[in-house]
Structure 1
Amino acid sequence: MRHDNRNPRLKMLTRFHSALAALLLSTSTLAAQDITLHSDIGPAEDAEVVDVSKYESKRDGSYIVGFSNVAVINSWTAQLVEEANYRASTLPQIERYIVTDANNDPSKQVSDVEDMLAQGADAIVINPANPVALVPVLERAYEDGVVVIVVTADANTDKVTAKIMADQVKFGTDGGEFLVDAMGGEGNVIALRGIAGLSVDDDRFNGAADVIGENPDMEIIAEEYASWSYDQARQACESLALAHPQIDGVWSSGGAMTQACVEVFNEFGRDLVPMTGEANNGFFRTWKENQDAGFDSIAPQNPTWAVGEGIALAVAILEGQEVYDYYAVTADPYTAADLDELYRPDLNDSYWVGSTLPEEKLQELFGN
């Protein structure tokens, strides 16, 4: 040992090896760092730790990850895809990232998932077009050892690896409670709904209907599906306004639909009534522009970044990280007090508030 220390060349070589070992240890530590999920999601009350050992055979740090999207039908789903793509780009463990669009067709989405499996997907992240139709293919993927993450809309099975769900019942309940207070517990309500058959829409509407139904002097007199779309909501609100001369409140399953309905009421010369909205920049602009006319609303959140976090969760599971099988998003709704802080006049109406996209990307996608 004394001889080694007296040998300058050997001493230098020893120091080099020590430095290299320290660098390799530091690099491996960084590579093994946990993937951190968004601060606004957390394990649900009854969540259990995922058995990640099931996926140990796949653990090579280079994965094929598929995202099966239900459809790009409006600005919210378009931003959702961008958020998912960006999140995937931040995960170097993803070797191939596959994105499909089912065009709101459950049978096509089944085929999309089967195609991903044929391509050797290690993980599939999905927002299902139907809570029942996708169950067989998802269960088969799960039983074949593929990580299956269900996000945003639910599937009626526990044979998946994990779920990330916003509290859609709370979305509807928050809006229903706002209308009860704003309308003094009486009057006629029309409802603008999303897409028939989707659990998201059913949960939101049922949450609102339960609250409104507790008030005997309030009634939901009509409802129309408008696919969370501005254009379809204009037609739906026009039809409802023409058919019902007495409307005292509007419950809406989405901000773009509320924005359209405010404009319809103004064009028809109808007094603006309380309407529920959502955390969307176009709706926030419309809300601000009509405050002097006495308009008020509430904006529940349904984050566009949830699917991106599903992709991150899938990679975390493949990497053997300790995670849970059910994560909940329970963000509080925005009120008039939040408008000045959250409204972005430098971005267009299509921007959904609370994005995780970098500012450069926001300006590219939504800059005026």
Structure 2
Amino acid sequence: MKKWFGLVLVGLLIAALAACSGNEGTSGDGGDVDPDAYKVGLAMNTLNNPFFVDLKEGAEETAKAEGINLIVSDSQGDPGKQMSEVENLLQQDLDLLILNPVDSDAVAQAVKLANDKDVPVITVDRQANGGEVVSHIGFDALKSGTIAATYLDEELNGSGKVVEIQGILGTNVGRDRSKGFNDYMGDVEDIEIIAKQSANFDRGEALTVMEDILQANKDIDAVYAANDEMAMGALSAIDAAGRLDEIKLIGTDAIDPAQDAIREGRMSATIAEPPYFLGRDSVKTAIKVMDGESVEEMILLENTLVTKDNVDEVKTR
């Protein structure tokens, strides 16, 4: 009897594990949604980053309020996995696909696959370099880079040594934030960019990158990080080196930890690009497309400089 009971438990465990593995990477709202409601897929590039978690929450809460069946997948930062996730989503009879690309070039194949199946595509935050996209919802990344450069120019009175920590240069966001920053700084004669290196929008990588830069450079007046996750990594390195008082730090996105650091005086500024609004507006735009309404090909939300003076006034959701 004990042996038989043990075999039953093993069988149940195997079945449970199989069910879990069969659903890996995707999630939905469950049975509360009308089966006749619009079905939308949201292919996230990663959920291992607070920015993209907020984006997903904005999409999910809006979809729930609007009665949309939203199916979410997590590509875990892997372009190949994103292609597989999109293939799986497209097998679920979608009315529309929202893509948050891992890589702007690689995702073009996923867009074309949806095009072949006559499923409309919207991109959010990052653009796709190929295929037919109905609308893109994002922020002006060139403008964000320019805002950061303008702020540091003013704070440094036009003279100093600056470090740039870049994002993923395989995305339009990473490239454009860097371009906006460097185009402006190129016209400031007495500001020198003494180091620039990609940390792939990752906090841990930025910590390591900043540690190396600090060791190699005695004089650093300011650091521009292309997102707040990297700014947080850079902040940890600067703090550990005991150089908080001598280095100004600006990031991008206005995630909660960055806003807290600004309130505490440990970080100078960030640029608000609230991801929650990206998720919200991507779903609202999707509804218009599915209802047959016309939408703008490029929908750019407002980005705003955040400092200690206005950090408590900026709305992020």
Match of 2:98 in 1: 125
Report sequence identity in percent: 28
What is the aligned partner in structure 1 of residue 279 from structure 2?
Answer: 307
For the structure 1 residues 327 and 259, does the alpha-carbon distance in structure 2 shift closer, same or farther, using more than 3 Å as the test?
same
User: 1:153 is matched with which residue: 121, 126, 129?
Assistant: 126
The residue that corresponds to 1:284 in the other structure is 259
Report which structure shows greater RCO (CA 8 Å, sep ≥6).
1
Listed as ranges, the matches of 1:101-250 within 5 Å are: 101-157=74-130, 159-250=132-223
Rg larger in structure: 1
Q: Does 1:65 align with 2:40?
A: yes
The CA deviation at 1:193 is 2.0
Aligned partners of 1:79, 1:157: CA distance in 2, in Å? 26
**Displacement, 1:144?**
3.4
Counterpart amino acid of 2:89? M
Once residues 284 and 117 of structure 1 are traced to their aligned partners in structure 2, the CA distance between those partners, rounded to angstroms, is 38
Tell me what 2:10 maps to: none
State the match for 2:53 in structure 1: 78
Could you say if the C-alpha distance between residues 326 and 341 of structure 1 is closer, same or farther in structure 2, counting changes exceeding 3 Å?
Answer: closer
CA contact (8 A) 1:234 1:264 kept: yes
Distance in 1 (alpha carbons) for counterparts of 2:304 and 2:125: 17
**Closer, same or farther in 2 for the Cα pair 1:330/1:317, shift >3 Å?**
same
Q: Name the CA shift for 1:140/1:340 in 2 (closer, same or farther; >3 Å).
A: closer
- 1:105-155 CA-to-partner distances (Å, cap 9, x unmatched) read 112212211222222111000111122222133134235321210110011
Asked if the contact 2:101/2:127 (under 8 Å) is kept, the reply is yes
CA pair 248-82 structure 1, distance change in 2 beyond 3 A: same
Residue 275 (str. 1) matches residue 253 (str. 2): no
TM-score when scaled to structure 1?
Answer: 0.70
Aligned to 2:22: none
With normalisation by structure 2, the TM-score equals 0.81
* Superposed CA RMSD: 2.2
Residue 36 of structure 1 corresponds to none
Q: Tell me, in whole angstroms, the C-alpha distance in 2 between the residues paired with 1:76 and 1:224.
A: 21
Q: Distance in 1 between matches of 2:222 and 2:165?
A: 11
Name the residue aligned to 1:90: 65
How far is the alpha carbon of 1:61 from its aligned partner?
6.2
Query: Does the residue aligned with 2:309 lie in a helix, a strand or coil?
Result: helix
Deviation of 1:186 (Å): 2.1
User: 1:70-121 CA deviation, whole Å, 9 max, x = no partner?
Assistant: 11232112222222221221121x2x32111111111221221122222211
Identify unmatched segments of 5+ residues in structure 2.
1-34
Aligned mate of 1:336, from 304, 308, 312: 308
> Are 1:265 and 1:272, in contact at CA under 8 Å, matched by a contact in 2?
no
**Counterpart of 2:42 in 1: which secondary structure?**
strand
CA displacement at 1:179 relative to structure 2: 1.0
* Number of aligned residues: 280
Cα-to-partner distance string for 1:241-264 (whole Å, 9 max, x where unaligned): 111111111111122332343343
Q: Which structure shows the higher strand fraction?
A: 2
For structure 1, the 5+ residue unaligned runs are 1-59, 343-352, 356-368
Which residue matches 1:261? 234
Could you tell me which amino acid in structure 2 is paired with residue 76 of structure 1? F
Structure 1 residue 329: deviation in Å?
1.1
CA contact (8 A) 1:128 1:155 kept: yes
Q: CA deviation at 1:235?
A: 2.2
**2:289 maps to what in 1?**
317
